[in-house]
Every structure is written in structure tokens, then in C-alpha cells.
Amino acid sequence: MKKSAQASLLRFIALVALALVALQLYFALRIALMAVVDPASTSFQRSEIWRLLSEKHTLGWSQHWVNDARISPNLKRAVIASEDSGFAEHNGVDWDALEKAWERNQKAQTRAEAINARDETKTPRKVEPKVIGGSTITQQLAKNLFLSSERHLLRKAQEFVLTFMLEAMLDKRRILEIYLNSVEWGEGIFGAEAAAQHYFHTSAAQLTPMAAARLAVMLPAPKRFEKRPDSPYLQSRAATVSARMGSVELP
């Protein structure tokens, strides 16, 4: 009986391992195909379509794929300067940025716990620490293409695997092209061309340095910034990003 249970457990482990290998092969094949075929949609976009249809019973959607040559270098430099300054050099993961983000998050957690302990009888709700990410453009693309927005260890591990696959099978220029064509810039607004048309009534190819910087600054929270695209914070951050763009190395 004991041997039978052990054999069943070993079969189960073997099946799980086989399923994991098959899943990675599936991801690898899809990424390899992206070298020549533009992805029709991302996992994040599909979840947004479902949310819009279920919550608002309508689909306000704008996305127009444009190739790399039709995206302004200003936008490429602005996004790299704002989101991932080491994009051209790293292998998909910026370990220094991850370490710094982890340290800042630990400090934020400690502060939140201290505030909650001090104001336990006064504050009606718990103070939650602001989580700071250290993800690169490639990591963000990996997550948007294939994964959910849930935060747990297994999802993060899969994100790392996908990130290294993207870096191994696609060059940096293609990674940036796919990212800029699929990233969210507001509710139902995806990709550089749709964002340029929506906010500046121009094409992605014609974006000025300041317009590009403003779009880049929106990326961490596009739905929030969409409501106040001319906010003082956005303009101040855009000016900072614009000043950095000259030193950005494009892939």
C-alpha cells in the first residue's frame, strides 16, 4: 500500500513537471513567432476587454499597430528614460533596480506598520504601503503578454522565465516595438499610435520631445493620469524626463 502511494505521488510529480515543461515550450513558440508576426493581443488587453464589457456593457477601444520606423525616436527615448534607463545594456532584469525597490518597499512596509500600530484606535482603515516596482521594459512586456496582474511568487518566477525568453529570441528593438504598440495609455487606449492620436491629435511618428515625455510619465498609472493629463505633477515629471532623453541610447 505504501509503495502504491509513493508510485502515485511520483506519477503526479512527473505529470506536473511535464505540464510545466509543455507550458514553457508553448510560451517559447509564441515568442519565437513574434520575431516575424505582430501579436494580435496581450493577456492584459483581453482581461481589459472582459472588464469593459462586463462593467460598462460597451467596448471603447483604440489600438493601431505601427512598425518601429513609424514610432518617433522621441517616444522611444522618453519611455526608456522614464521606465528603464538601462534597457539597452541589461539582459532583461535590472538586478540593482530590483534590490533598491525591495529596500524601499521594506521601509514603506515598516512605516505603514508603525502608523497602523500608533493609530490603531483612531484610524478607521489600515494604511497600506505603496509598492514600488523594479521591473524593466522586458519584464513589463512579459507580464502584459502572458500573465495576470496578481502578485505572488509563482507568477513572478514565470515572469523571469518569460523575460529571459524574450531577450534570447527577440532583439531589443523588436521588444521595444511590441511594448510600445501594446502598452496601456488610458482606458481602452493601447499603443503609441492610439495614445498620440487621443492626447495630441497627431501620429506616433510626429510626437515632439515634450509630448513624448508626457506620454512616458503616464505609463505607471495611465487611467489615473488620463483624468488629469495637464496636472502640475505630470508636467513637472515630463520636464525631468525630457531633460534626460538626450543621454538615452536607443537599441
Place of cell 538601462: 86
Q: Taking all residues of the chain, what is their mean pLDDT, rounded to a whole number?
A: 87
d(CA 4, CA 182): 50
Torsion of CA 20, 26, 27, 32, to 10 degrees: 140
Phi and psi angles of residue 145, each rounded to the nearest 5 degrees, phi first: -70, -40
Torsion of CA 230, 180, 155, 101, to 10 degrees: -50
Supply the CATH classification number for the domain 39-88+171-247: 1.10.3810.10
pLDDT in the model for residue 4 = 78
pLDDT band, very low/low/confident/very high, at 80 (cuts 50, 70, 90): very high
CA angle, corner 183, sides to 180 and 184, nearest 5?
A: 135
| pTM, entire model | 0.86
pLDDT in tens, 171-191: 999 999 999 999 999 999 999
pLDDT band, very low/low/confident/very high, at 105 (cuts 50, 70, 90): low
The residues spanned by each domain of the chain are 1-33, 39-88+171-247
pLDDT in the model for residue 121 = 53
Please give the radius of gyration of the chain, using alpha carbons only, rounded to the nearest integer. 21
Please state the rounded mean pLDDT for residues 216-240: 92
pLDDT in tens, 7-20: 788 888 999 999 99
